[in-house]
Structures are given as C-alpha cells and as structure tokens.
C-alpha cells in the first residue's frame, strides 16, 4: 500500500474542516455556497470510500471524519440561520429535538467510554445524504419543499435516536455498527 494513498482520507477530512467555515463568507452568494456545499459533500463521501476501498481506515481518521461532520453541520446551521432564517425558525422544534438527542448521545459516550463518539450507522449515512441534498435544494431554488425537509428531519431524528440507543446499551462500541437493531457492522474489517 502506497503510504501517500493512506493519507488521502485524512487530507479530505481536514479539507472539510478547513472549507466549512468558508461557507460563512459565501452565505450571500448562492452559486458559490452551493458549489462549496457540494464540494464538502463530495469530500465527505470520498474520504470514507477511499478508506474502506484501500483498507486505510484508522481511529484517528474516524475521529477526523466525525469532527469534520460536526464543524460542517455547525457552520451550516449558522449560515442557514443567517440567510434562511425562516427555514430555521419554522422548524425550530424539529432542529432542537435532533440537536438534543445528538448532544445527549455525545455526553453519554463521553461518560461511558471516555470519549466523544459518532457512529457510522446506515441511518447517519442516509441523514448526511438527505441533509446535503436538502441544503443544496434550498440554496439553489431559494425555496423550501416541506416534504423533502420533513423527510430529512425525520430521518435525522430517527438516526440520532438509533445512535443514542447504541451508545446507551453497548458494552463496547463498534463505530461501524449499522443500527441499534443490528449487531452487524457497516464495513468488513480488514
């Protein structure tokens, strides 16, 4: 295995961490914001794919990926509050419920396992795809499709609860566990 290739997933995660705050400067430029969201989404998909495909997954890479997700979604939340305030205020309770479960999950993981954890469940992966697509739709169309938005919120809440149940009930954490309802991992171990 080429050592340079092993670094690519981490480089992509770091690029997502660096690119995410730039969204704040692009909030008033929808085409640039959409392009940046798309680029960040592609780096998110690519880092995991490359790590799995070329067997270069690592604990530090998984932490970088999760950190990149948290920084992206936090920054996106700020951007959407600044630019698309009505979307946020009209759905504050859904957002609050999702955020509450996510924070409970993080705090419980920290208490039970001594570190913050984000599990790569199928629900979390689906949520990321739906949220990226929903954000792109809102930025590009300057309108909100309630069905798409409710689907994204429902999926996000269900995946947050799924992750919380895993953290709450597991004796040992497998960050690649598919779901609370399945003991199977999402990846084959190398």
Digit-coded pLDDT (tens) for 140-189: 998 888 999 999 999 999 999 999 999 999 999 888 899 999 876 655 54
Contacts of 67 (CB under 8 A, 6+ apart): 13, 17
The answer, yes or no, to whether residue 131 has pLDDT greater than 60, is yes
Task: Using a pLDDT cut of 90, give the percent of the chain over it.
Answer: 72
- The answer to whether 184 touches 122, Cβ cutoff 8 Å, is no
Identify the pLDDT of residue 189: 44
Give the model's pLDDT for residue 133.
Answer: 93
pTM: 0.86
* Mean pLDDT (whole number) for 32-61: 91
């Amino acid at each position: 295995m080429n050592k340079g290739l092993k670094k690519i997933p981490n480089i992509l995660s770091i690029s997502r961490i660096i690119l995410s705050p730039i969204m704040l400067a692009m909030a008033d430029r929808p085409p640039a914001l959409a392009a940046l969201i798309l680029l960040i989404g592609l780096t998110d998909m690519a880092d995991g794919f490359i790590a799995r495909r070329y067997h270069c997954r690592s604990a530090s890479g998984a932490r970088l990926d999760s950190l990149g997700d948290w920084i992206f979604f936090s920054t996106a939340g700020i951007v959407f509050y600044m630019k698309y305030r009505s979307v946020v205020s009209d759905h504050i309770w859904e957002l609050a419920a999702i955020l509450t479960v996510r924070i409970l999950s993080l705090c419980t993981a920290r208490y039970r396992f001594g570190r913050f954890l984000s599990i790569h469940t199928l629900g979390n992966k689906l949520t990321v795809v739906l949220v990226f697509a929903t954000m792109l739709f809102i930025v590009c169309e300057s309108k909100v499709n309630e069905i798409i938005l409710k689907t994204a919120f429902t999926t996000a809440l269900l995946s947050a609860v799924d992750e919380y149940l895993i953290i709450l009930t597991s004796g040992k954490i497998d960050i690649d566990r598919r779901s609370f309802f399945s003991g199977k991992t999402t990846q084959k171990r190398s």
